[in-house]
Chains A and B, each alone.
Chain A
């Protein structure tokens, strides 16, 4: 355990623990759009920046992304200095130019006093904040079906060559983790569509409700060792089945007792 100073207060932390988790643990709220527990931090959104210094630096300061900076003994951290707030405001201002219709960005910007962007709006803006959460989660899943393509301002998240991603299994992890909800998907008539790829859904043998895509089920069967017939009926029908099975066991036991 080490000691660091956070906004003037001494707090304890594990050596090497990222500053963001210490900050959150102490109940201080700072934005971190590209951060999620399920994926490794990557410091792309820059909103979690904080000011750090050390006594030996004699007043010299540095600004770092707290999601990626490991705590060291004697570190002095400040999360809401004037400079840090100015950086957050300007970054949100830039985001508003890029993602004018994103409710998440609008809300966050308003909380920081930025009501509208002072910059030129990007033509054909798609509201993607390029946080890389979708590509990172797909990598953790083990598929890496999508990635960031092109460079700089033209960067977009896309499947290889803009075509149907061969490795996508339709699990929707990317769409679900997206902080601004910009990955479109659709479930209709037993078919799921995402990234222009169509997936057949497995329907419950009993009630017909759609459970999961065939490809995702196959992936869980082969790489996570889930028996194939677990995917034959939906959760509602499984619970009813369990009740019925247990019920008949009880009835049999009662009859045997008589």
Chain B
């Protein structure tokens, strides 16, 4: 995969458009789901859009005893297969970044799936703090190992 989701937190204004875009993209039964990207303030008016880092050796995938979390080789995202998911919440507890969580609206576990290759948050981010772009594999920085 030669696409990476790149976050540039210093460009984040905390407008929360990404949150809205994500929730509406993942609407089911006419109800928008919980967002999978979380703009959080670390200082007054200073935000970081926290989201899943699609780790190389992901703790969430390791913790799943039912093989429900697998990497999509094309998009690079670690996807949660809802048909296999048993909702045991092992991944919710195991992810070191808290990026797998419970969506109470639809009663399911959610995590960022890069929208199958065209992340809605990046498409709508007004400041380009979020980008999904092609990068040279050689120059790619090492992913977070969890």
Contact = CB atoms under 8 A, between A and B. Distances in A.
Are chains A and B touching directly in their complex (CB below 8 angstroms)? yes
Contacts, number: 119
Contacts of A140: 65-66
Interface stretch (A84-92, A159-167, A245-253): A245-253
Contacts of B93: 211-212, 216-217, 220, 230-231, 235
Contacts of A36: 83-84, 86
Contacts of A171: 88, 90
A113 B70 CA distance: 40
A254 interface: yes
A157 interface: no
Interface stretch (A1-9, A47-55, A58-66, A236-244): A236-244
Given A176-B86, A247-B46, A242 B97 contact: yes
B66 A230 contact: no
Nearest to A254: B10
Interface stretch (B71-79, B98-106, B133-141): B98-106
Contacts of B65: 140-142, 173, 224
Contact of B98 (A137, A141, A238, A244): A238
A38 interface: yes
Contacts of A75: none
Given A220-B94, A230-B93, A243 B86 contact: no
A177 B98 contact: no
A172 B88 contact: yes
B42 A248 contact: yes
Which of B47, B83, B85, B94 has the largest number of chain A CB atoms within 10 A? B94
A237 B98 contact: yes
Interface size for chain B: under 10, 10 to 19, 20 to 34, or 35 or more residues? 35 or more
Contacts of A189: none
Contact of B66 (A38, A216, A227): A38
B43 interface: yes
A186 interface: no
B62 interface: yes
B43 A251 contact: yes
B96 interface: yes
Which of B42, B81, B84, B87 has the largest number of chain A CB atoms within 10 A? B42
Contacts of B95: 230, 235, 238
A240 B99 CA distance: 11
Contact of B67 (A38, A220, A224): A38
Given A140-B66, A243-B42, A250 B9 contact: yes
Contacts of A254: 10
B50 interface: yes
Contacts of A230: 59, 93-96
B52 to A, nearest CB: 10
Given A212-B93, A239-B98, A137 B10 contact: no
B81 to A, nearest CB: 7
Interface of A: 36-38, 137, 140-142, 171-173, 176-177, 211-212, 216-217, 220, 224-227, 230-231, 234-244, 246-248, 250-251, 253-254
8 A-B pairs with least C-beta separation: A247-B42, A238-B98, A235-B98, A243-B40, A37-B83, A38-B66, A212-B93, A176-B87
7 contacts: A227-B96, A231-B93, A236-B98, A239-B38, A243-B38, A243-B47, A250-B9
Given A37-B84, A220-B63, 14 more contacts: A173-B88, A217-B93, A224-B65, A231-B93, A235-B93, A237-B98, A238-B96, A238-B97, A240-B40, A242-B50, A242-B97, A243-B40, A246-B42, A247-B43
Interface of B: 9-10, 38, 40-43, 46-48, 50, 59, 62-63, 65-68, 81, 83-90, 92-101
